[in-house]
Amino acid sequence: MKCIYCNSEAELTSSDIITYAITGAKLTKSFVCKTHNAFTNDNYEKKFVADLDFFRNHLGLTTRDGKPIQYKADISVDGTELHNVKISNRESLYAPKDVVAGTDDNGNKILMAPMERIEKISKGKASTVDISDVIVHKTIEADSFLGFYAIHSMAKMAYEWYCYVNNIEEFKEEYCEIVDYILGNKDGDFVDVIIDGNYYFVMDKLSEIGTNAFFQYDDVDGYRYVVFDFWKTISYRVRICKSPNECFHDVRSLLFELYLYHIDGSKTQTAFGAFSIDSSTKPKFNTIQPQNVTIDIWRSFVKRIERIMSTMVLSVHTLKREVDELSSKLKKYDAGIIDVARLLGFEENNIVTTIEIISQLQLNKDKYDVTKSFNQNLPIILNLNSDTIARTQEDKMEFIKSLVVMDKENKLSEYIWNGIHVFNEIYENEMKLTK
């Protein structure tokens, strides 16, 4: 095996083909030398990932040691605007271990913390604010998805994925142009963005929020491409090499093998096709160069990106992680160490949604078909039409009110434990089904 960038056989390292920070499904192979692994990481991926911390946090991705990802955002608290505040979850705002730090509109530093903490460092300048309704503001920047670091990271991941699925374990001259582009030796239009509405309609049926999906194909322009659908938001098309398929130009239909790498760590494959109804044209995708994306096109992508903040992807693995964390909190609640506010993570979406799901599983456990998978049962149990659950803010607040009432009546712990026990039984059954 040699480096797929330079053919070096020395110091081959394990490359994260899909940047580890944007996926739950790890994909690695030791076919990149230490020098070029460090080059792509330091010059592109680190900066690309840093711009995505807000979205990575909402997808439930964590640091390598399992901690919540911090991101910077602006917050509004009782009429006061704080900018560039580091946040990891709602608890980091409502019950910080130290202080919440930010700046005002004039650049002056502002600290926020419980009064007993802030009085020790405020020198008599502290004032009380009502934190019952904190609003977090985060602007979705086009550069985070269409800028230099994003586009070069996409090219790197597409090329390495292409080598991975095609068992290419050395650099070949036919890949010279894309390699030179990735290594900064060449400029060019190697990466464009798909803006085909029909394509996104199909992908929305096949993928889910947070999933990274790839496929390769030969286009009518004579080149071979890898398409990378990133988190079910934007699809990037990367030109890999000239197509070796000489008879492709007469083809009126295409079949694509789609590889999906899910946020819960699982990997699946499926297929979809494209067919030209006009005999005078060939099937192809409508694309645009990133720098030419208009405001209207970007707005359509923003709508897709925004779904990350309002959607929880459901799988037995993601729910197991949430249930285990909830169990740990519930034990502290039962012991009187934390109150109901901390149990609910100060109304953290994932915690509240997890309690709602397991309570529905407990309520409808007689409808659960143990011969079918967890996701096959979900539409019946939760009355869903997909593997995602989305709730309005009004739905969430009504459910929280019911939990607070149960807390006052000393019924909340039993209510949640019943749901946890039913889910754990379902999880054990799922593991048996998948053996």
Cα–Cα dist 229/212, whole Å: 6
pLDDT tens sequence across 194-244: 999 999 999 999 999 999 999 999 988 889 999 999 999 999 999 999 998
Query: What does the domain layout of the chain look like in residue ranges?
Result: 71-137, 188-309, 312-433
Instruction: Spell out the residues 6+ positions from residue 77 whose beta carbon is closer than 8 angstroms to its own.
Output: 112, 129, 130, 131, 134
pTM for the model: 0.88
pLDDT tens sequence across 73-97: 999 988 888 999 999 888 888 888 8
pLDDT of residue 253: 66
Beta strands in 243-371 (DSSP E): 253-261, 267-275, 287-288, 312-313
The band of 388, judged by pLDDT with boundaries at 50, 70 and 90, is low
pLDDT of residue 339: 96
- What are the tokens at 411? 């019924």
pLDDT of residue 122: 67
- Average pLDDT of the segment spanning 289-312: 94
- Average pLDDT of the segment spanning 409-432: 96
pLDDT of residue 14: 97
pLDDT of residue 282: 60
pLDDT tens sequence across 331-343: 999 999 999 999 9
pLDDT tens sequence across 104-142: 888 888 888 777 777 777 666 677 777 777 888 889 999
Cα–Cα dist 32/159, whole Å: 12
Residue 254 pLDDT more than 80?
Answer: no
